[in-house]
Structure formats: C-alpha cells, structure tokens
Amino acid sequence: MNMNEYYNSPDFRDYPVVYLSFIQAAAFCEWRTDMTMLLFSVSSKNEKQRAKYYTKVRYRLPTVEEWEYAMEKFRENIYTNLGVYAGERCATIEAVPQKRNLEFVYIPHNVSEMTTTEKTAVGLSWRDNDTTDNYSKTVSYSGPRDWLGFRCVCEIVEY
C-alpha cells in the first residue's frame, strides 16, 4: 500500500500517522507547541486566568533514554494482547481508553517510533517477527516508512 492509499482510505483514520520524515515529525512537534501556547493565551482573559497554565511548554520527539525509562516505569501499560500480526499489517484492535493522568501507552507490533536521534527509532512494529518483550529495541531507518510513526513528548519549560 502506498501513502496516498493509506491517507485517503477511511479504514485507516484511527491508525498511526506514518510515511513521515524525521523533519516532518519534528515540524509537527513545533507546530503543536505553537498551537498549545496560542490556546493557553486565547483561553485567558487576564493574567490571573493565564496563571493556571504553564508559562512555556515544548513538544518534541523523545530521546532513546526517555523511551527506555518510560518502558520501565510504565511497564504495566504495555498492551501485548491488543495487536495481532495479520501478515501485511497489524489486525484491527479495539481503542485503548484514554485516561486523564500521566501515562505512557505502548502497543507492540504497531509502529516503531522516531526519536530525537535522526534515523533511530524504538519499539517493535508490525513488520517485526520478534516475539520477545524487547520493547525498547532500536531500529535504523532511512526515510518515511509504513512501519514508522512518532509520538510527542511535552516538556514543561517554565511553570
């Protein structure tokens, strides 16, 4: 399946964003930072209201070390029973309920995820036949792929 088929099919609307370059993923993180700071600003009518938001946040790709830490800290949030390898891609799974607290959710054999180190991703994707719990596995990549996605880390720069 090519990128146009993936993005134009309603079947994939709840799937990870793939076929992006490192530069595009980093640019999305910058855009998300700008939009979040704008939302904080326009949601506040005065300084008192603005004080309930962080002064400055920054979204970015995670480091390999942050990924490894999260995998260790939130190991109980690894949904190993959700994804079933179905040949060319991951089988359909039910949505994971969203919680309103600090959490790291990882679904093995979904997509590998980009890190701040260009050309280095972490995690098992649907193309991996690895049946171990090697969830922090690093993977090299050379450009956009159908098995490669990303997640944003929100860094609180100023309170």
The structural domains of the chain, with segments of one domain joined by +, span: 3-158
Task: Inform me whether the pLDDT recorded for 153 exceeds 50.
Answer: yes
pLDDT in tens, 79-135: 555 444 444 555 455 555 555 555 667 777 789 999 999 999 998 888 887 766 777
Yes or no: say if 106 and 96 are a contact pair by the CB < 8 Å rule.
Answer: no
Q: What is the structure's pLDDT at 100?
A: 55
**Angle at CA of residue 98, ends 95 and 103, nearest 5°:** 120
State the Cα–Cα distance between residues 133 and 81, nearest whole angstrom.
Answer: 12
What is the pTM assigned to this prediction? Answer: 0.79
Q: What is the structure's pLDDT at 93?
A: 52
When pLDDT is averaged across residues 22-51 and rounded to a whole number, the result is 92
When pLDDT is averaged across residues 41-46 and rounded to a whole number, the result is 87
Residue type, 75: R
Yes or no: say if 137 and 123 are a contact pair by the CB < 8 Å rule.
Answer: yes
- Written as six digits, the tokens of 140 are 């090299």
When pLDDT is averaged across residues 67-77 and rounded to a whole number, the result is 78
State the Cα–Cα distance between residues 131 and 83, nearest whole angstrom.
Answer: 12
Task: Inform me whether the pLDDT recorded for 66 exceeds 70.
Answer: yes
Q: Three-class SS of residue 23?
A: helix
Sheet with 120-122: strands ordered across: 138-140, 120-122, 112-114, 148-149
Q: What is the structure's pLDDT at 78?
A: 63
pLDDT band at 14 (very low <50, low <70, confident <90, very high): confident
Mean of per-residue pLDDT scores for the chain = 83
Q: What is the structure's pLDDT at 84?
A: 46
pLDDT band at 77 (very low <50, low <70, confident <90, very high): low
State the Cα–Cα distance between residues 36 and 40, nearest whole angstrom.
Answer: 6
Yes or no: say if 17 and 3 are a contact pair by the CB < 8 Å rule.
Answer: no
Q: What is the structure's pLDDT at 134?
A: 75
